[in-house]
Amino acid sequence: GINAEYGKQWYQRRVREAVVSTQSTGSPSLNTPIPAVIMVVLCEFLYLLVDVNLLIPCLGTVEWFFYAVTFSVLIYLRYKEPKTPRPVKIPLVLAFGLFCVTVTFVILPLFSPDS
């Protein structure tokens, strides 16, 4: 029992150290995480292989979806935890309006004849 628990903790610590050391290596002169920059460059090369006219509307819809999720979480937290201190308090009318606009931008492309 205790040996298995110790082995599990040792394994988790080794995995965590390996992940942190490989993902957080940075350039001391540029202050950038090198693996993240390499991944972005590889993704950009993959984008070159795809038709850009197809890629732009898809990524735009995904971007508006995440904006809608952000505004929905903002509204949810304002009702669930109203006393929590926040650096900026957006009026709920503005949050509801922006949520409706972003949901519209997500739903409308689903019914467009081009998609």
- The SS3 assignment for 20 reads helix
Using a 10 angstrom Cβ sphere, with 0-12 exposed, 13-18 middle and 19 or more buried, the burial of residue 68 is buried
Q: Give the separation between CA 79 and CA 30, rounded to whole angstroms.
A: 42
Q: What pLDDT digit, counting tens, does each position of 14-70 carry?
A: 656 655 555 556 666 666 677 777 887 887 787 778 777 777 777 788 889 999 999
Q: What pLDDT digit, counting tens, does each position of 57-95 carry?
A: 777 888 899 999 999 999 999 999 988 888 888 899 999
Q: Whole-model pTM above 0.75?
A: no
Residue with the bigger pLDDT between 55 and 103: it is 103
Q: Cα 78 to chain center, whole Å?
A: 21
Cβ-contact 47, 55 below 8 angstroms: yes
